[in-house]
Chains A and B, each alone.
Chain A
């Protein structure tokens, strides 16, 4: 019978409040689970804090991850906690290097579930080339949290000069996306609601830092980089249009959406442009550089479907006011693509 590595050493199958006590049970958990999988010299030094070597301008980001279900096609809460923070750090034109990781765990959680998550975090960190250098674990009574909450904080060195930022979109720029929209959001929603779309819907959860590094070093002059996570492409473009005081003009027909996602959305009355993505980026840069950026993205993993979806305009040149996103429909008509109020909810009829 194959045993999980934990079973050999811990003989504990269920997480108890004791595992967060700071005593023996805690150190067994930390030693045999976290250190074992996250293994690296900085963490292994076991000091109160991590000693890091970094210099120059630094990008830092933190995020907390709660997702239901914990495991879904294409990823789990662990991959999200790594990819999400790595990507946020990278979007400053940075090379992410270190992650911290805090767990808040519900008493009674099967150890095997926790181990699966830790194993995927280790794999995700290794693919992204970051190390998990410090962490924390709390175990709270049953019902105080929903199974597992994870917080990660990331640090990276900014390698782009100047660093891309949300307020740097300029009229004449091209708006590119690295692939299809809405895959992650629809996957999680259909997993949560037990909706069986017997199709290929899976999360796009992926590290984008290698693509970012290639873009800033090989193409350069990147004005804005953002990953359209919660709120999706529409919300993120609205934020950028607002920060930069420009109109973003989008062509609906050019936005890549998988057929299966489009169908699932139309069934539920959802708009894929507002669904979360966890492995896609928006890149805004001068139109002259768009082709080079697209070719580069398409040559890399996670960027095969990169396309230009729109352009940045001055409010004086056409429909829309500064801060708005205007969508040109396939019929050639225009409408606003606004921000969503609250979450998207499926409709009655």
Chain B
């Protein structure tokens, strides 16, 4: 068995599950901050096997889901413009903006939209199309932002002036603060995102345990990781010794990745940002620093983000804050399905509504 397989080993999982059933002596409400965890829990078939006392809530950690209506409107504003090629990761194509419009539709109507696998691909697209302006849609958390920042640095070094980034990057820790400040979000423990933490390390989460007395475990995406983390949560709840624990040591250094943070904060600085369903969160977004302003699509192309009203009926905000389970949204599976999504949580591959809709037997 190779190392990767051992984290999915059924025998090991069965042992951990049995221990979890034994150890759990009171209900536990935990939030998987990251959408990839939500999907992993469903995909591995773990959900129906967990003890009944465990409630898992989805969190604000799906980058597509928290992209605000106004930000989607800004993509769509650029999408029809002469001489503009939008370069994006695939997941944004179907995210509904105001009035349900999305990039797929814009593309069908003639907008030039290219799906790329890395921001460097977008840079190459710019080099190949000197007569056009390539705008990369910068969506994603601390996982993605350093690569985008690195690409901007490359563009500067290469003197590529027709490459821009529409920067809507967001930061995870400030969103946790909002949840912890909200008395309705009664969360016993956080399953903290593995990918994001490779960059952040432990430090930016310390306030969760320190100030708010809520434990958190940084974890990977295989069933063994998740089960081990649940056990750690249960133990911490029992002992009252609330800490941030790094279960995902094979990928996450306690100090994170200093170089990635340096690149990210070399190009961007923090600012307030709009989160879909949540609203404005202080210091939770990234904007271009002065030195790199010429790469900022907002400034260079005169895009204004006009605060679009929330989509009527959509409870994404409640779901993202863990106040409502997807199936309790009145639109779930009726007005809102993957074929006709009302909110992004139903269309993103990491969206919790989509996960419940697709995987629940």
Contact A341 B144 (CB under 8 A): no
Looking at the complex, which one of B46, B195, B223 makes contact with A349 (CB distance below 8 Å)? Answer: B195
Residues of chain B lying within 8 A (CB to CB) of residue A269: 349
- Mark the stretch among A11-19, A160-168, A203-211, A328-336 that contacts chain B: A328-336
- Nearest chain-B residue to A193 (Cβ)? B117
With most chain A CB atoms within 10 A of its CB, the pick from B94, B140, B347, B361 is B361
- Nearest chain-A residue to B358 (Cβ)? A338
Contact B361 A347 (CB under 8 A): no
CA distance A348 to B92 in the complex (A): 9
Tally of contacts, chain A with chain B, CB under 8 A: 88
Contact A336 B361 (CB under 8 A): yes
CA distance A347 to B338 in the complex (A): 16
Residues of chain A lying within 8 A (CB to CB) of residue B144: 348-349
Contact B349 A345 (CB under 8 A): yes
Interface size on B, residues (CB 8 A): 42
Residues of chain B lying within 8 A (CB to CB) of residue A338: 358-359
**B91 at the binding interface (Cβ < 8 Å):** yes
**A326 at the binding interface (Cβ < 8 Å):** yes
Contact A335 B139 (CB under 8 A): no
Interface size on A, residues (CB 8 A): 26
Contact A329 B361 (CB under 8 A): no
Contact B91 A345 (CB under 8 A): yes
CA distance A329 to B89 in the complex (A): 29
Contact A342 B350 (CB under 8 A): no
**CB proximity of A143 to chain B, nearest CB, Å:** 14
Contact A349 B45 (CB under 8 A): no
Contact A333 B89 (CB under 8 A): no
Residues of A246-286 at the interface with B, using a CB-CB cut-off of 8 Å, are 268-269
Looking at the complex, which one of A195, A326, A332, A341 makes contact with B361 (CB distance below 8 Å)? Answer: A326
CA distance A333 to B49 in the complex (A): 6
Given the contacts A331-B223, A335-B359, A336-B361, A348 and B64 also touching, CB distance less than 8 Å: yes
**A242 at the binding interface (Cβ < 8 Å):** no
A-B contact pairs, 7 of them (CB 8 A): A329-B45, A331-B14, A331-B46, A333-B45, A336-B358, A348-B91, A348-B144
Interface positions of B (Cβ within 8 A of A): 8, 10, 13-14, 17, 36, 42-49, 63-64, 89-94, 104, 115, 117, 139-141, 143-144, 195-196, 223, 338-339, 347, 349-350, 358-361
